[in-house]
Structure 1
Amino acid sequence: MLLLSLLPPFLAVGQGIAKPDFEQAREAVEGGRILPLAEVLARLHETQPGRVIEVDLDDEDGMMIYEAELATPDGRLIEVEIDAASGRILALDEEDGD
């Protein structure tokens, strides 16, 4: 399954330096504060088909955001920001090939 190939989520902590914090992510899911990554990616795939390249979990001013990078079937690279609590897509940007 595609989800098994994903890198674990990361949380932004400290002085803007992202470090892996799997325990906090797991506790946030178990506590119902964020949706599981598998559920978020399943929802995303319904509207944005493609292969997931990378996923990060960031804390942006107290709001947990999944940032997913996808390669679309037509070869574009897009970045999607998703509210980790609701699964709602917040932003979708196509990355330049430069």
Structure 2
Amino acid sequence: MEKKVIVGSVIAGLLVSMGAMGAATAQSATTPVAMSEEKAIEIALAEVPGTVQETELEKEDGKQVYEIEILTADGVEMEVEIDVATGTVLEVEADDDGDDDHDGKDDDDKATK
């Protein structure tokens, strides 16, 4: 009789742990990426031709977006934001990292008048 109780406890423990693993897997799958990074890069390069410098997957205003930094042929760094769910280009702007002239000094340190 004691053996049956131990075996039953082991089986119950396994079922509980498998259920917890399934719940964790289901929770991590609730925010799938609807678009591949490669597709987002393709869309961004159609908008701004150049060389991709960096790609980030971020969440902005409750949406997943790819931020793709592109260096254009004339040396301008551009950032293209693409909605992951729809593939829509949300924003295209010059990437302002505070050092546009690449001299190692932040442009914010310069006096403006």
Displacement of 1:75: 0.8
> How many aligned positions are there?
70
Structure 1's unaligned 5+ residue stretches are 1-23
Larger Rg: 2
Question: Would you say the 8 A contact 2:69–2:95 is kept in 1?
Answer: no
Q: Please report how far the alpha carbon of residue 47 of structure 1 lies from its aligned counterpart in structure 2 after TM superposition.
A: 2.3
Structure 1 counterpart of 2:67: 67
Q: Which has the larger share of helix?
A: 2
Identity %: 37
- Aligned to 1:28, the other structure's residue is in SS state coil
**SS of the residue 2:32 aligns to:** helix
Tell me, in whole angstroms, the C-alpha distance in 2 between the residues paired with 1:43 and 1:95: 18
Q: Which runs of 4+ in 1 moved over 6 A?
A: none
Question: Which position in structure 2 is the counterpart of 1:44?
Answer: 44
**Deviation of residue 61 (structure 1)?**
3.3
Task: State the structure with bigger RCO (CA 8 A, min sep 6), 1 or 2.
Answer: 1
* Larger strand fraction of residues: 1
Matched, 1:28 2:61: no
| Matched position secondary structure for 2:91 | strand
The aligned counterpart of 1:85 is 85
How big is the shift at 1:85?
A: 1.1
Query: TM-score, normalised on structure 1?
Result: 0.62
Q: Which amino acid aligns with 1:86?
A: T
User: How much is the aligned-residue C-alpha RMSD, in angstroms?
Assistant: 2.0
Check conservation: 2:72, 2:78, Cα contact below 8 A. yes
